[in-house]
Structure 1
Amino acid sequence: MLNTTCVRNAQTQHGDAGVDVENIFLHRSMLATNIGSSTLLTDAAGPPASPQCVWFHDFKGTEPTEEDGSQESVQSLEGPDEKEEITISEKRKTETPEEGSKPKKVKLDGNDSKTKRPGFSDERYDETSYYFENGLRKVYPYNFTFTTYAKGRWVDEKILEVFSREFRAAPPEEYERSLEAGKLTVNNEKVAKDYKIKHNDLLANVVHRHEVPVTSQPIKIVYMDKDIVVVNKPASIPVHPCGRYRHNTVVFILAKEHNLKNLRTIHRLDRLTSGLLLFGRTSEKARQLEQQIRNREVQKEYVCRVEGRFPDGVIECCEPIEVVSYKIGVCRVSPKGKDCKTTFQRIGEVGDCSIVHCKPLTGRMHQIRVHLQYLGYPISNDPLYNHEVFGPLKGRGGDIGGISDEQLINNLISVHNAENWLGTQEENGPVRVVIPKEVQKSSEIEPTNTVSTQTCLEEPDSSYDPKKDTSDPHCCECKINYRDPEEKDLVMYLHAWKYRGINWEYKTELPDWACETNINYNQL
């Protein structure tokens, strides 16, 4: 048996503690797992001819996980992933104001000169460029500096010991080499591996960054004026930099290809959810629309495809939803949860599935997905809430198999470590876990110094250009052959269709999976 944690730490760009809630169970068809342990079932036939693995991701800094985005998750960026993106606002509450009370005010910086986030400068936009390949948008690898101030618990500890324990992006020998080469610095100065961290030390680590591919579908602009930009977000693209995504995000793509910079995020969508996304071009407009969302003055309509034949008529679900774990972003129906209300109506059928119209009247994390799970009609390809880890009934009626919330979290992480994994799928055969080649000597890889930049309004390359690629002799990921994600890995059948507020209304075209001939949207 092969220990999951050991392999994962050897292969991932991120720490063992991180779990990507968007990709838990994304590749569950690839591996046999034992939920009660952290081991993988491997093929005894021996290793494959060449190291290949599927693209995988980590959780820390993951895109806020809610369908309608009126509520943001508190995000800790302690890990080595996105030290620059530290201005994520605090979790917004969406409680309805008590009768007679004044509407809550959204706290936004009214000084436009100060609302530009760190990491969103022209220099950052031009770090690298895109190319299209196999129906995917890809990013040429590039050098990136992660920074963080010393945590109190690190003080008086040796820097090598801290990085080896806290940041498992690479084995200890990698960090030792970085220290010797001056890539891992303290207060912009080279230090020895036995340097003891002091209060307020600024730690910086230069890494060769490989981003995860997303769909090549364009981000279509639905409406734009001097105050607002409304787009139709394809599934698989996060809204803003997080985890292993930076340039492959909506805000970077809009800035690099449409010269739309410094957009104010008004609401969010899950990475795998497609549909309507609003950005403010001014802080005043962002404040106005956020206020409407917080006060529940915005009507939101979604379309999804669920398992089974959904009941007739309008079905209302008012079960309270509790966040089981903010760390991995998982929710479930619970009496201890916050008030929720969603209405559903079947509008068509596709084979054994139903197309359902959804109206979330509150804005809880994963509200639509959790309520559909509770009703027993989960989204047919939901990688999280349509999974046996929630028990034999997959969470129907709130039944998670009699386990505690703590055990549920442990099982989720255990299954994630195994299923969201590297491996090659053998035709009609078992999956074999692949351990990458041992780190090669520096002389075996000639570093490429060409920097591939893409300034605003430039078109991405229509195909891969090896002259624009970069490599690093000490980068583990440069030595791994990743298998491209498939369509099933990029799309969840949930689409934000219409948003209607005070004196405004926007809607998007529907995705292909929601456009079957027997579906009548005129009835809505």
Structure 2
Amino acid sequence: MQRESSVSSPIPLRAGLSPSCVWLPNASHTLLLDFLTTRFNEIPRSIWQDRLVEGLVLNQQGVPFDLDSPYIANQHIYYYRHIENEPQIPFIEQVLYQDEHLLVADKPHFLPVIPSGKYVQETLLTRLKNKLGLDDLAPIHRIDRETAGIVLFSINPETRDAYQALFRNHSIHKTYEAIASNREDLMLPMTYQSRMVKGEPFFRMKEIEGEYNAKTDIERLEVNGDFAKYRLSPITGKQHQLRVHLAALGIPILFDPFYPALSDWKSDYSKPLQLLAKDIAFVDPVSQRSHQFTSEQRLLDWESIVQLMHRHHD
């Protein structure tokens, strides 16, 4: 069985990145390079050659392999991801709070929380590790790359599970703000619930019949022409929950590149998804202090929205 993960290992961080780990199964490869090219067939062979030459693929003792290293099954190996010409994200995160256990960050739109796809260095986790020298930093929860706002991180692995339990036990209160279409016939406030599962393509979610697993409280805060600002309180934490729920109600969040249909807004920095993880409140499981943190990020003002919508329709 082939396994790949980011695990606790004796291999040190490199530029804020933990190494990824992969298991070498019984197979008929001659060279390690052959296995890597086959196992990760979406990555060109030349990339793996470069990683081997640069010493970015290591054994369990931290010794780098080379281009001619033979394939030896039944062991873990480690490798560092490296992306040529990684896109630079011109928005800066803030640290709102930090103690020996907890870090609270305020994430801008477009910045991923963790390395994935074409982003490795340009992620909230890697930026914070590099900036603060916190090798054990790990997100306690995540928000979408397109969403701005509050993200909690664990600093101390020994107390990490206590903070993660806040989310498992629904002992944390989160509120979001969103700008979306206005439906005057929609009776608000309301609680919307549905059953959500993976959709197509793989990065989208969809609703199906069945017992609900996603639940959101929705309130309208203000109206301006065809749009309104909403306060959203997710009771559950399904991927893309708020985006799917508002789209299902016929009020998709402004500049959403995934719902109700795919668009090219994801790469347009002038049109950030109008969704903000605004507030988070909880009782600290270690200190027993009551915490409430509020994002300093902002959604677009009404005048900017009108200008962008006119530009979009021209």
TM-score if structure 2 supplies the norm length? 0.74
Report percent identity of matched pairs: 22
Aligned partners of 2:293, 2:52: CA distance in 1, in Å? 55
Count of residues paired in the alignment: 289
Shift of 1:373: 1.6
Aligned partners of 2:234, 2:130: CA distance in 1, in Å? 33
Matches within 5 A, 1:363-512: 363-387=237-261, 486-488=268-270, 491-502=272-283, 503-512=290-299
Secondary structure of the 1:301 match is strand
Shift of 1:191: 3.1
For residue 367 of structure 1, what is the amino acid of its counterpart? Q
Q: Alpha-carbon deviations, 1:176-235, whole Å to 9, x = none?
A: 97699798989725439xx7x553266778886325334333211222233321121111
Secondary structure of the 2:118 match is coil
Secondary structure of the 1:320 match is strand
Determine the structure 1 residue equivalent to 2:169.
295
Aligned partners of 2:163, 2:21: CA distance in 1, in Å? 33
Secondary structure of the 2:136 match is coil
Cα separation, partners in 2 of 1:260 and 1:211, compared to 1, 3 Å = farther
Shift of 1:145: 8.6
Q: Alpha-carbon deviations, 1:51-75, whole Å to 9, x = none?
A: xxxxxxxxxxxxxxxxxxxxxxxxx
Q: Does 1:239 align with 2:113?
A: yes
Contact persistence 2:16–2:126 (CA under 8 A): no
Determine the structure 2 residue equivalent to 1:265.
139
Contact persistence 1:312–1:346 (CA under 8 A): no
Secondary structure of the 1:290 match is helix
Larger relative CO (CA 8 A, sep 6+): 1 or 2? 1
Aligned partners of 1:215, 1:278: CA distance in 2, in Å? 21
* Match of residue 6, structure 2, among 66, 75, 86: 86
Secondary structure of the 2:219 match is strand
Q: Alpha-carbon deviations, 1:412-458, whole Å to 9, x = none?
A: xxxx9xx799xxxxxxxxxxxxxxxxxxxxxxxxxxxxxxxxxxxxx
Aligned partners of 2:156, 2:54: CA distance in 1, in Å? 41
Cα separation, partners in 2 of 1:207 and 1:279, compared to 1, 3 Å = closer
Contact persistence 1:251–1:263 (CA under 8 A): yes
For residue 342 of structure 1, what is the amino acid of its counterpart? T
Contact persistence 2:97–2:105 (CA under 8 A): yes
Secondary structure of the 1:328 match is coil
Secondary structure of the 1:487 match is coil
Shift of 1:497: 0.6
* Match of residue 15, structure 2, among 105, 122, 125: 125
Q: Does 1:314 align with 2:314?
A: no
Cα separation, partners in 2 of 1:292 and 1:183, compared to 1, 3 Å = closer
Q: Alpha-carbon deviations, 1:148-195, whole Å to 9, x = none?
A: 33345xx1246576526842322x6x4797699798989725439xx7
Aligned partners of 1:186, 1:259: CA distance in 2, in Å? 23
In structure 1, runs of 5+ residues without a counterpart are 1-76, 88-115, 128-143, 390-415, 422-484, 518-524
For residue 257 of structure 1, what is the amino acid of its counterpart? K
Cα separation, partners in 2 of 1:338 and 1:117, compared to 1, 3 Å = farther
Aligned partners of 2:107, 2:85: CA distance in 1, in Å? 19
Determine the structure 1 residue equivalent to 2:84.
210
Secondary structure of the 2:199 match is strand
More strand by share: 2
Determine the structure 1 residue equivalent to 2:28.
156
Contact persistence 1:186–1:202 (CA under 8 A): no
Aligned partners of 2:56, 2:276: CA distance in 1, in Å? 43
Determine the structure 2 residue equivalent to 1:345.
219
TM-score if structure 1 supplies the norm length? 0.47
Aligned partners of 2:66, 2:202: CA distance in 1, in Å? 35
Contact persistence 1:149–1:202 (CA under 8 A): yes
Determine the structure 1 residue equivalent to 2:68.
191
Secondary structure of the 1:319 match is strand
Cα separation, partners in 2 of 1:246 and 1:177, compared to 1, 3 Å = closer
CA root-mean-square deviation: 4.0
Aligned partners of 1:282, 1:486: CA distance in 2, in Å? 37
Aligned partners of 2:265, 2:20: CA distance in 1, in Å? 25
Shift of 1:304: 0.9
Secondary structure of the 2:121 match is coil
Q: Alpha-carbon deviations, 1:276-313, whole Å to 9, x = none?
A: 11112223543332222211121110011113446352
Aligned partners of 2:52, 2:6: CA distance in 1, in Å? 28
Contact persistence 1:251–1:261 (CA under 8 A): no
